[in-house]
């Protein structure tokens, strides 16, 4: 399998590119608008045909590149069925599989960070969006977030997955690139709680600033990033800011 983990320095967002082979069909997860040209150049270099652009949820800290990528490549726009963006052409239900070439993802509905958050599982890994981060979890104080729903998503769904499953989050603020379910269960400080009430109390005490781009990003992302916001540059610098309370 071809797998690339790409990074946006300003929002500390990971984007994932998957294909069963070079020269085959590909999908991209959580692409960032400013890297549109870099993505399409990479598709050309690897001779990939992008057929699906997927967001794990409606992002608040960056504008998605899904719509512009679909416009350039003809890719389908995918998201979980709770997504409110009318431009999404394929909405996935809990347990439904998305297949692109030899790559197969299973949708897991994991509300809590937002009410439209989904994770996507493969046989050996899970893309956890902002629901489960490396040594952290996504904040729950906006976009219909709910700490008790997040607790259920974490403890009743993600932590029931096999320990050896690799965890690939949508963000990291310290340079970590991958973890496992077992590692997070043992060492993630957010997961060392005994009840939903205790988790809700923990999340309610964070007092985090809102993401700087929320007022622009959310409306743009409900239009799949087709907002006219500069999407023709790749960010080469910029300090990451932890707006999700990863620590």
Q: Which domains does the chain have, with CATH numbers?
A: 2-209 (3.60.15.10)
Token pair 């990451």 is found at 240
Closest by CA position to 170, among listed 117, 94, 95, 223: 117
- Beta carbons within 10 angstroms of residue 17's beta carbon: 20
Q: Beta partners for 180?
A: 166
Residues in the chain: 247
Provide the residue-wise pLDDT of the chain in tens; the chain has 247 residues.
Answer: 999 999 999 999 999 999 999 999 999 999 999 999 999 999 999 999 999 999 999 999 999 999 999 999 999 999 999 999 999 999 999 999 999 999 999 999 999 999 999 999 999 999 999 999 999 999 999 999 999 999 999 999 999 999 999 999 999 999 999 999 999 999 999 999 999 999 999 999 999 998 999 999 999 999 999 965 443 343 333 334 444 454 3
pTM attached to this predicted model = 0.92
How far apart are alpha carbons 50 and 70 in whole angstroms?
9
């Amino acid at each position: 399998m071809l797998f690339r983990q790409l990074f946006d320095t300003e929002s500390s967002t990971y984007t994932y590119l998957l294909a069963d082979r070079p020269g085959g069909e590909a999908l991209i997860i959580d692409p960032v608008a400013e890297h549109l040209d870099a993505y399409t150049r990479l598709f050309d270099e690897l001779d990939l045909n992008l057929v699906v652009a997927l967001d794990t949820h409606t992002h608040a800290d960056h504008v998605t590149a899904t719509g512009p990528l679909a416009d350039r490549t003809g890719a389908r726009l995918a998201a979980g069925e709770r997504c409110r963006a009318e431009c999404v052409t394929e909405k996935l239900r809990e347990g439904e599989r998305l297949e692109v070439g030899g790559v197969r993802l299973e949708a897991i509905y994991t509300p809590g960070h937002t009410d439209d958050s989904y994770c996507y599982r493969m046989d050996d890994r899970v893309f956890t969006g902002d629901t489960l981060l490396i040594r952290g979890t996504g904040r729950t104080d906006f976009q219909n977030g709910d700490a008790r729903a997040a607790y259920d998503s974490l403890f009743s769904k993600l932590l029931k997955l096999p320990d050896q499953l690799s965890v690939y989050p949508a963000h990291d603020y310290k340079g970590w690139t991958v973890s496992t379910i077992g590692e997070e269960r043992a060492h993630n400080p957010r997961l060392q709680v005994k009840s939903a009430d205790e988790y809700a109390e923990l999340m309610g005490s964070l007092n985090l600033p809102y993401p700087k781009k929320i007022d622009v990003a959310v409306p743009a992302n409900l239009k799949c990033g087709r907002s006219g916001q500069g999407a023709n540059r790749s960010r080469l610098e910029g300090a990451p800011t932890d707006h999700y309370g990863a620590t």
